[in-house]
Structure 1
């Protein structure tokens, strides 16, 4: 959430940032809501002050024996009391209207983010490994079905479209990928492993920016909970409504969880295979920092995600997203795109974003630096470290063999009981 004081002082900067994101200007509407609220608060404060003064005057009038004045003052106090009660209700309505308008505003891009309308405006900043189409390279679903270890028809019977049943070696390979990523981030990158709830309340979804604007992208679970679309929600909200010791920042959390997304608006896209699922596993990275450290932490987090792909020896490229392709809460985002020879294309496998104090304000999460009486909103970052299902796809396509088998990457073999190759199920 953006600071209304900043908007008051920089209305043109807000509208310019929204323009870069492909959104309409909002400063005039917000300033009108803010002014109406402030004018009402002034009237309410004046009424409260007059009520308090009149209450004191009643005592003086009674002490001097002026009953007529006392009764007049009592009537005035009663009228002011009613006005204040109604005014407080009106204040809550003004607060709610302004808060709702602010809650729907996206974050302000950093100055070095390239301007662009969509993914065509994204900029490659580095490339690792050789991306080449292998002879007769097949897509992951062709490989998985031929192995007899990836079943979309049975998944559809159970749950409908955009679900998958994995079995045998592929099920173990997916599990191995998740465990490998967790071990890497906790032992080499300094993240603390967390096993968070998969069901969260409205306040948690609001804190990280999924609500109120993106409810259609989520799965509701009863009246009071939502299934998490990413562990970012649970991990970031660990510090909600807290004041942290600035000396203990940054906090770094990681989790391997299922994620649930409705994929609203993706009809007709990636309908074959596992690329776009309603349910998938992901290793999430979250950092909570002070204001001065967040930009450097963004570079560090991206390197941690890249390390996963380097150790798996998967070709990839790192892109900085343009203003029109960034997520709602991000100030800057790096996407890691892994090479899929079956598609002859790079596809996203991780997004690492720095959000500034955008989520900190929504969560009312603050920190106090040593010796400083004033508190500041925390800065938050999140990234995929990485998407496990997409990593499985990348391993299958990059390690496929002409005989239909899939070689297990060296770094995963300890998690696979030493298995070197996944082969077709024998009848």
Structure 2
């Protein structure tokens, strides 16, 4: 049996390497801020999801250190004896920032999405999802046992067809959950949430928005860092289920779901990925509270938007074919896996770390550089990256890199 297992995994790994799809770790000496020592070399990183620079903020680090005095770990699940006062403070802060009545902490965004979907729908119900949704939403839908319907990316017409189909089959009393990313992690574009919310009202569906890449980075005048749902003008009634992560713009770890008091009470009773796992370490919760206090006024999100606009304007002058994205995620689709790897390696030699994203993370033929911006990037660093990128693309074309 062991030999059979070894043979199986060896074959699959050989295939993955031959396809230029094998992934390996990069070792960082510390969190990038955005300068980092990667595999022993100093680089400027444009591959992090630390959109506001809070992972290295001294006040956040100090808050974590103070939180660690409460204990290294939560010692049990939240419902046994692993729920601390600092957890309660964090949940209240999240509710305040998102304009919701309450919030619930989860170990990760993956656990939150899987737990929420499976707590709300099951056999005989419907889950409707965008074709480019994050894997955690997709897996949550598949695991739930509900009938799983997908629609063309960000296409309200295609969405309405699936909602009509679901409502016709579910009848008047059947449950329909529409789950979408607010900001798409590989394309950087934003879902048409206002149109989606209107369709949910028409077909009596529940809208769930994954704010992993929106929370902290965008919002409305009233809630400047609440995410894409707030930016679209949606309140608790029109976007009743909001999931956000605390390991991206908040610079820490974990995730949350925010919504009505009744929803949070329900998830506390029925979300298995919340009930049956150890609570968030108190140090992380304390760091998150401080991070959310720093992001609350929206000034960091405003600086981030300035960096995004600067990057795009300079990229346009160089004729770089970026995707249409106004978020911190700026993809450059090159198509060929070999080309993407060659350009990423050239950038690393020039002193810049950019993610080379290949299938199966993205569809075949859409391999890309995933450039992510932060409020702590300087204009000099952005200019340096763009110059290096233009040079690398030119050299790659001259060298004739191809599949």
TM-score (norm 2): 0.25
Q: Which has the larger radius of gyration?
A: 1
Which has a greater percent of strand? Answer: 1
TM-score (norm 1): 0.24
